């Protein structure tokens, strides 16, 4: 193969100098000057793209619309679940209340029985009886009454606590879906910060726990019915107070955590920040209170920023990330793009929009979003993305662009022989398609020029033979005689015209 490569280099040098090739060709062949003409400039990795697929509309807007549709459907499902649970909790609480209204009386002394005993004693005394008065003892409810009331009142309290948490969750979801009037890529970045914060702070888990709370309340109600006890004694009061206190603690904690988390993160060096998504009207009031207190403490009210709602505050946090974080402010954007690629990357309709969004990102952002090596070139990232995603086989623009990317990498002089052979195989596979229109003279001319450049280097090897034959075979139907002649000339100087079992060989000789 080394002798073939040296022969190719010599022939190409003669061709570029305008001299006739060193080999003796058939008398019907034309000279190199007539065949080659002026060679086009090679497409390389540092040049603008020539065959990139056209962009229809704003790709960031299309991606953002798909993300919002995804969020709308997920939040709509959560809201429907919460509404269903609230209806059930309301009906269940009414049922438990009806039982508890009767059961709590079992925890008190029956005054009617005491009055009856006194009346009997008075009647006996009037009849001359000398029997002693009935002893008055402290009332002690029966253990079974205490247990029933514990079960039923706990069931009622847990049911109402689930209603309270469900209302809080609906407030959080409303704040999560508030959209500011900003550019699409910033809106996507803001959404990703909210989405990761929602996951980090366990909002989906809280929503999943609501049905469990109601189920627990139902189990307790059934246990109370079976055990027949509930009480107003200190034990019952303590248990109910604990549940009520826990519910109130949840309300207070979720109201103060968003502000406390930001204040805590501003005072320490951190590598990540996930703003608390427990945002509600009461938490916003507490946040404004904290801002007012801070303004009074600093005696400089004008220095404190003022926000109208949680949306504007989230945007402030997003813009201020580089001020107190160890990573770049594009991290949420990178992770947002990675999430979009992973979620919508298998959609025919979304792949093109995602591709154009990635073109406006840096190479490092592109590599991170598509799970590729950050040291790869831009062309390599694009080609790998095209190969890993579903495309319509009849999409002619994508096929042309894939060929261009392969040629740009093939023309890179630093590439290895194995990678060059692989790129030639890709080009051979891409140029072959019966149902697609012709690639055009410009692209075919670049293919031929790139192959000529490749054959003049030391990367050419025997593995390229079949790829070159397949490529040249698709040159014969071309309408341009000049391109046909250039292809046949390269076929001749590379020695492939003497290869057998080639369907294009007979066609070559007819030119």
pLDDT tens-digit profile of 37-77? 455 677 776 677 777 777 777 888 888 888 888 888 888 98
Q: In the beta sheet, which residues pair with residue 325?
A: 270
Whether the per-residue pLDDT at 218 is higher than 60: the answer is: yes
Does the pLDDT value for residue 89 go beyond 80?
A: yes
pLDDT at 155: 92
Q: Rg of the chain's alpha carbons, rounded to an integer? A: 40
Cβ atoms within 10 A of the Cβ of 142, count? 13
Query: Residue 246: pLDDT above 70?
Result: yes
Supply the pLDDT for residue 28. 36
CB 422 within 8 A of CB 58: no
- Per-residue confidence band for 511, with pLDDT thresholds at 50, 70 and 90: very low
The three-point CA angle 282-283-289 to 5° equals 90
* Whether pLDDT at 180 is above 70: yes
Q: pTM of the predicted model, to two decimals?
A: 0.57
| Range 258-285 average pLDDT | 74
- The neighbour count for residue 347, using CB atoms within 10 Å, is 14
pLDDT in tens, 110-163: 655 556 666 666 676 667 666 665 555 665 777 888 888 888 899 999 999 999
Predicted local confidence at residue 179, as pLDDT? 81
pLDDT beyond 60 at 23: no
The ranges assigned to domains in the chain are: 59-292
pLDDT reading at 419 higher than 50? yes
pLDDT confidence of residue 112: 59
Let me know: does 443 contact 417? Beta carbons within 8 Å.
no
Give the angle 308-267-326 at the CA atoms, nearest 5°. 95
Q: Which phi and psi angles does 325 have, rounded to 5°? A: -120, 160
Looking at the predicted structure, is the pLDDT value of residue 30 above 50? no
Q: Is 93 exposed, middle or buried (0-12, 13-18, 19+ CB in 10 A)?
A: buried
């Amino acid at each position: 193969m080394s002798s073939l490569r040296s022969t190719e280099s010599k022939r190409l040098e003669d061709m570029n100098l305008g001299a006739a090739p060193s080999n003796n060709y058939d008398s019907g062949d034309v000279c190199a000057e007539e065949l080659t003409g002026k060679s086009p400039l090679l497409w390389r990795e540092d040049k603008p793209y020539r065959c990139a697929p056209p962009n229809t509309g704003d790709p960031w807007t299309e991606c953002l619309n798909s993300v919002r549709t995804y969020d709308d459907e997920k939040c709509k499902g959560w809201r429907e679940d919460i509404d269903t649970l609230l209806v059930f909790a309301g009906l269940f609480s009414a049922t438990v209340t009806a039982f508890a209204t009767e059961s709590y009386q079992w925890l008190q002394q029956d005054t009617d029985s005491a009055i009856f005993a006194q009346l009997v004693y008075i009647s006996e005394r009037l009849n001359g009886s000398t029997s002693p008065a009935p002893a008055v003892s402290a009332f002690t409810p029966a253990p079974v009454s205490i247990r029933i009331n514990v079960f039923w009142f706990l069931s009622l309290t847990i049911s109402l606590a689930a209603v309270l948490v469900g209302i809080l969750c609906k407030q959080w979801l409303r704040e999560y879906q508030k959209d500011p009037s900003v550019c699409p890529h910033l809106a996507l970045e803001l959404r990703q910060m909210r989405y990761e914060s929602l996951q980090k702070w366990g909002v989906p888990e809280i929503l999943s726990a609501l049905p469990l709370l109601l189920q627990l309340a139902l189990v307790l109600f059934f246990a109370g019915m079976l055990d027949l006890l509930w009480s107003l004694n200190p034990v019952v009061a303590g248990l109910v107070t604990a549940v009520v206190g826990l519910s109130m603690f949840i309300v207070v904690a979720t109201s103060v955590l968003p502000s406390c988390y930001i204040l805590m993160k501003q005072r320490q060096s951190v590598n990540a920040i996930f703003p608390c998504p427990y945002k509600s009207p009461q938490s916003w009031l507490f946040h404004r209170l904290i801002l007012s207190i801070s303004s009074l403490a600093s005696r400089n009210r004008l220095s404190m920023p003022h926000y109208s709602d949680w949306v504007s505050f989230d945007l402030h946090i997003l813009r201020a990330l580089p001020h107190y974080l160890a990573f770049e402010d594009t991290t949420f954007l990178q992770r947002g793009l990675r999430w979009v690629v992973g979620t919508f990357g298998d959609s025919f309709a979304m792949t093109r929009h995602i591709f154009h969004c990635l073109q406006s990102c840096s190479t490092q952002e592109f590599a991170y979003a598509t799970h590729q090596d950050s040291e790869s070139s831009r062309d390599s990232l694009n080609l790998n993305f095209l190969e890993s995603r579903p495309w319509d086989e009849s999409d002619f623009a994508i096929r042309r662009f894939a060929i261009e990317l392969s040629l740009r990498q093939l023309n890179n002089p630093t590439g290895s022989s194995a990678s060059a052979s692989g790129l030639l195989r890709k080009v051979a596979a891409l140029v072959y398609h019966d149902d697609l229109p012709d690639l055009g003279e410009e692209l075919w001319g670049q293919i031929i020029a790139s192959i000529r450049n490749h054959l003049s280097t030391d990367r050419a090897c025997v593995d390229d033979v079949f790829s070159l034959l397949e490529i040249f075979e698709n040159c014969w139907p071309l309408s341009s005689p000049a391109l046909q002649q250039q292809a046949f000339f390269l076929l001749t100087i590379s020695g492939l015209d003497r290869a057998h079992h080639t369907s294009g060989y007979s066609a070559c000789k007819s030119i």
